[in-house]
């Protein structure tokens, strides 16, 4: 009896933490998305009452033009930024794991370092390179007759993409390198015997064999794109083109803490989570044909 209970006792602490930090918050958000909170008194000092709202909160969220535009915005962001970032991470990983690489450990550390900078700090640092009058990049472009505003309406999304790419390329690179190191040496030896050069080895052996790592990094990046929040929130203080509902996560935050409508905020959060799951599933289904199994 005790022997049969041992595995469950070992797993119990993890399951308890998982339940409290993952399942319970999701359940609370789903329940909250179907409720409407009413405040009594001029400033809400009379307390609150919660009533069942049905799908009204979801209807409000989807009827909100700012929210639907923010979804389209992050989809465009993800299609471009994730592609560029994963391509850059893959190229860096292949170069650092090539036989001709010098000081690969040093460069791995250097490329990974931006990931250790918190998103808020990274955005503040990059903002100094975006603000006209402070940015040496803007000043250098002006010298050659190019007037470019990184914070303009048509450019600010890609300025955010630059920050995210800078921060996470090294992280994804390490995941890919870990997969590269798992490739048996015999495979490389056989390829060299057959006369395969570095490019042929990369395209015919390494890239196909690191496919699981590429799938993992892309799925994580899709989820991260829908969670985009800190970068636009910080840049909003200097970029008029960024409104308080610029991304889906930013919109949910605004409805919760500026409009005090937690029902709509919860509905938007559920929509974001559902979108992340659906997009990840579609991607895995399209690339593996088995839904990621």
Q: Assess contact for 195 and 201: CB atoms under 8 A.
A: no
Nearest to 94 by CA among 207, 211, 220, 217: 207
Question: Residue 289's pLDDT is what?
Answer: 63
Task: Indicate whether 291 pLDDT > 60.
Answer: no
Question: Residue 4's pLDDT is what?
Answer: 76
Q: What's the CA gap between 111 and 40, in Å, rounded? A: 54
Q: Assess contact for 232 and 153: CB atoms under 8 A.
A: no
Q: What's the CA gap between 199 and 202, in Å, rounded? A: 5
- CA angle in degrees (0–180, nearest 5) for 60-21-78: 55
Q: Assess contact for 128 and 134: CB atoms under 8 A.
A: yes
Average pLDDT over residues 109-132: 94
Return the higher-pLDDT residue of 1 and 149: 149
Res. 292 pLDDT band, cuts 50 70 90: very low
Q: Counting Cβ atoms within 10 Å, is residue 289 exposed (0-12), middle (13-18) or buried (19+)?
A: exposed
Q: What's the CA gap between 293 and 290, in Å, rounded? A: 6
- 3-state secondary structure string across 45-79: CCCEEEEECCCHHHHHHHHCHHHHHHHHHHHHHHH
Q: Assess contact for 226 and 248: CB atoms under 8 A.
A: yes
pLDDT digits (tens, 9 = 90+) for 13-55: 989 998 998 889 889 999 999 998 877 666 666 667 788 888 9
Question: Residue 230's pLDDT is what?
Answer: 93
Average pLDDT over residues 103-124: 94
Question: Residue 159's pLDDT is what?
Answer: 96
Question: Residue 60's pLDDT is what?
Answer: 95
Q: Assess contact for 111 and 170: CB atoms under 8 A.
A: yes
Q: In the block, which residue shows the tokens 């636009």?
A: 232
Domains of the chain: 33-288 (1.10.3720.10)
Phi first, then psi: give them for residue 126, nearest 5 degrees: -70, -30
Q: Are strands 35-39 and 48-52 parallel, antiparallel or unpaired?
A: antiparallel
Return the higher-pLDDT residue of 4 and 212: 212
Task: Indicate whether 170 pLDDT > 90.
Answer: yes
When the pLDDT of each residue in the chain is averaged and rounded to a whole number, the result is 90
Percent of the chain predicted with pLDDT > 90: 65
Task: Indicate whether 118 pLDDT > 70.
Answer: yes
CA 207 to chain centre: 23
pTM of this prediction exceeds 0.85: yes
Question: Residue 40's pLDDT is what?
Answer: 67
Residues 6+ apart with CB under 8 A from 57: 33, 34, 35, 36, 263, 264, 266, 267
Average pLDDT over residues 144-159: 93
The SS3 of residue 38 is strand
Q: Assess contact for 35 and 50: CB atoms under 8 A.
A: yes
Phi first, then psi: give them for residue 136, nearest 5 degrees: -65, -25
Task: Indicate whether 257 pLDDT > 80.
Answer: yes
Listed range (47-56, 165-174, 221-230) with the worst mean pLDDT = 47-56
Task: Indicate whether 1 pLDDT > 60.
Answer: no
Average pLDDT over residues 221-229: 93
Question: Residue 109's pLDDT is what?
Answer: 94
């Amino acid at each position: 009896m005790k022997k049969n209970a041992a595995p469950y006792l070992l797993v119990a602490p993890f399951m308890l933490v998982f339940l409290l930090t993952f399942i319970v918050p999701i359940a609370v958000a789903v329940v909250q998305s179907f409720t409407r909170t009413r405040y009594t008194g001029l400033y809400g000092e009379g307390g609150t009452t919660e009533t069942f709202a049905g799908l009204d909160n979801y209807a409000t969220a989807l009827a909100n033009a700012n929210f639907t535009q923010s979804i389209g915005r992050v989809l465009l962001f993800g299609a471009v930024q994730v592609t560029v970032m994963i391509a850059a991470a893959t190229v860096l990983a292949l170069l650092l794991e090539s036989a001709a690489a010098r000081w690969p450990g040093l460069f791995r550390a250097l490329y990974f370092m931006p990931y250790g900078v918190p998103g808020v700090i990274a955005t503040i640092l990059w903002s100094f390179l975006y603000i006209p009058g402070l940015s040496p990049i803007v000043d250098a472009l002006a010298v050659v007759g190019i007037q470019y505003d990184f914070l303009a309406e048509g450019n600010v999304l890609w300025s955010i993409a630059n920050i995210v790419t800078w921060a996470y390329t090294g992280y994804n690179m390490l995941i890919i390198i870990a997969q590269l190191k798992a490739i048996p040496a015999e495979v490389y030896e056989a390829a060299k015997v057959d006369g395969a050069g570095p490019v042929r080895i990369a395209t015919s052996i390494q890239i196909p064999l690191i496919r699981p790592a590429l799938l993992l990094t892309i799925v994580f990046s899709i989820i991260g794109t829908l969670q985009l929040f800190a970068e636009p929130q910080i840049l909003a203080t200097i970029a008029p083109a960024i409104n308080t509902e610029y991304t889906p996560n930013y919109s949910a935050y605004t409805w919760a803490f500026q409009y005090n409508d937690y029902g709509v905020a919860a509905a938007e959060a559920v929509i974001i989570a559902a979108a992340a799951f659906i997009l990840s599933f579609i991607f895995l289904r399209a690339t593996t044909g088995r839904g990621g199994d």
